[in-house]
Structure 1
Amino acid sequence: MAREWQLPLPDMPVPPPERAWRRLTAPEGYGPQWRRLVDAALELGLGPDDLAEDGLEPVAVARGWRPATVTLYSKVARYGGVALPVPRTPEPDPATLDLRPLTRIRSEDPEHLRAVAWCALALGWPAAVGQFRSLRRDQVHPSAGRLVVRTDDGEWSVPGATTAWNAWEEVRGHFPALAASPWVLPALRRGPGLDSRIGGRLSNQALQVTFTKHAVGTGHHLRATAGPRRREWAAALAETYRELSYDSYRRLSLAAGAPPVSGRGVVRAERAVAREARRAG
């Protein structure tokens, strides 16, 4: 466990930022993220004591970090010993959103088809990122126009996801490493880690990045293909997708009536439904 950073006593001089950061050790498993956090802070001349006192907002504004990124680096800072509050994940805005474009196939690219299959599954099985990271192919069973997901926690029926699932399964079958992988969402290329391999299990962070890339790409596609009457709709949806995180996508699925997979996010989804009901009334 990293030693927690302590603010200097009133009568003690504040050490220079670079020296202050050198006193702390990168948390295990988060070396690259720690270096990026330190570099971003040093660009503004901030040391650990500045972050502990003022939070990450100055760095986030300077770097243009999104809420999910701020949450990640807050966690990394805390693991490294800098006591920062973890920002609360913002409620999805709007509380309801057309998510179907994210489940539609537009190319044969494996990365695209993997993301489409994920989004299609999540509309009926709105699991957290960590649960999708560990979901195995033998836990997903195609059946009469729907997929059945069976885990130790129960069984879920997911309608409308078979087209995306079959397209992803067919394409991954062309690549031996992907065809042999037991994971529903395997790595498509090697990463920086020593244990990383094609077909291996992705990290939570890699999956978050994958979803963000897919959401932004879908928005660009909507803008490029929308007819004159739908350009305004496409532009508005693309702008919302640009800021959409998987956590918000999952809560929107729950708010739309998907059965919960775990307790996380259910209360916030119920509040979103209640807000929409009050507006409609």
Structure 2
Amino acid sequence: MPRAWQQSLPAMPPIPPARAWARLSAPPGYDVQWRRLADAALELGLGPEDVAGVGLDVIAGARGWKPATVALYSKVARYGGLALPLPATPEPDPPALDLRPLTQLRGDDPEHLRSAAWCALALRWPAPVGMFRSLRRDQVRATARRLLISSDDGDWAVPGANTAWHAWEAARNRYPALAASPWVLPALRRGPGLESRIGGRLSNQALQVTFTKHARNTVRELRAAAPPSRRDAVEELAAAYRTLSYDSYRRLALAAGAPPVAARGVVRANRATARAAREAG
């Protein structure tokens, strides 16, 4: 376990921020996030003692972090020994949203097809991003009307995703590295890591970035294709998509009636459904 940060004694001068961060070890499994937290703090001249004292509000404001990002880095800071309060993961806002545009095919670009297939699967199989990261092609079997997914948590039938799935499979089979990959959502290009390769397994963070990019591209395409009579509705949808994360997408799918795949997010989805029912009444 990393040692917890200790406040300086009153008679001792504070340790320079860079040295103070260097004295702390990253929590296991969070080396990248810890380094980014430290870099963001150092840009503002903050050491661990300062962050523990004032929280992440100053850093979040400077970096433009969303509430979900603040929740993530608060958790990482606590794992690293900084006594920060852990904010609750924000509820999806709005509590209901049309997610179907994210599942629709609008071209033959492999990156778009991969994202559309992911969203089509997640609309009726709303698994956490970590489960999608580790989902293998041999765990998914296509029938005439639905996809069948086998996982450690059980077997699932997913209707409505066949079109996007077959389009993605056909596209990836044109590239040997993607065709040979065992992953449902493989890397399409090499990343900065030494072990990164085309067809390799993406990280959770890379998948989150992929989803955000897909949502923004969908906004652009909806605007380009919207007739004048639909422009206001499209702008309202675009405003929601601009801040949509995969975690919110998953909770919205659960709130819309998709069966729970894992325990995470189910309570929040139920609260969102109850809140929507109260507001409608």
TM-score (norm 2): 0.93
Q: How far does the alpha carbon of each residue in 1:129-176 deviate from its partner, in whole angstroms, 9 at most, with x for none? A: 111111111111111221111223222211111110001000000111
Question: 1:217: which partner in 2?
Answer: 217
DSSP-derived class of the 2:149 partner:
strand
RMSD: 1.8
Question: Aligned pair 1:273/2:273, yes or no?
Answer: yes
Q: How does 1:196-211 map to 2 (within 5 A)?
A: 196-211=196-211
Question: 1:90: which partner in 2?
Answer: 90
Q: How far does the alpha carbon of each residue in 1:97-152 deviate from its partner, in whole angstroms, 9 at most, with x for none? A: 00001001112111111111000000111101111111111111111221111223
Q: In the alignment, residue 252 of structure 2 is paired with which amino acid?
A: L
Deviation at 1:78, TM superposition (A): 3.3
Deviation at 1:73, TM superposition (A): 2.7
Q: In the aligned structure 1, how far is the partner of 2:78 from the partner of 2:198?
A: 31
Q: In the aligned structure 2, how far is the partner of 1:191 from the partner of 1:237?
A: 32
Question: Aligned pair 1:124/2:124, yes or no?
Answer: yes
Q: Which runs of 5+ in 1 are unaligned?
A: none
DSSP-derived class of the 2:68 partner:
helix
Question: 1:23: which partner in 2?
Answer: 23
Question: 1:261: which partner in 2?
Answer: 261
Q: Which moved more, 1:188-197 or 1:50-59?
A: 188-197
Q: In the alignment, residue 17 of structure 1 is paired with which amino acid?
A: P
Q: How far does the alpha carbon of each residue in 1:211-250 deviate from its partner, in whole angstroms, 9 at most, with x for none? A: 1111122112222221111111111211111111111111
Q: In the alignment, residue 257 of structure 1 is paired with which amino acid?
A: G
Q: In the aligned structure 1, how far is the partner of 2:32 from the partner of 2:278?
A: 46
Question: Aligned pair 1:69/2:69, yes or no?
Answer: yes
Q: In the alignment, residue 130 of structure 2 is paired with which amino acid?
A: G
Deviation at 1:32, TM superposition (A): 4.3
Paired residues, what number? 281
Q: How does 1:1-281 map to 2 (within 5 A)?
A: 1-27=1-27, 30-281=30-281
Deviation at 1:10, TM superposition (A): 3.7
Q: In the alignment, residue 198 of structure 1 is paired with which amino acid?
A: I
DSSP-derived class of the 2:277 partner:
helix
Deviation at 1:79, TM superposition (A): 4.0
Q: In the alignment, residue 166 of structure 2 is paired with which amino acid?
A: N
Q: In the alignment, residue 202 of structure 1 is paired with which amino acid?
A: L
User: What is the percentage of aligned positions where both structures have the same residue?
Assistant: 72
Structure 1 residues 26 and 154 mapped into 2: Cα distance closer, same or farther (>3 Å)?
A: closer
Q: Which runs of 5+ in 2 are unaligned?
A: none
TM-score (norm 1): 0.93
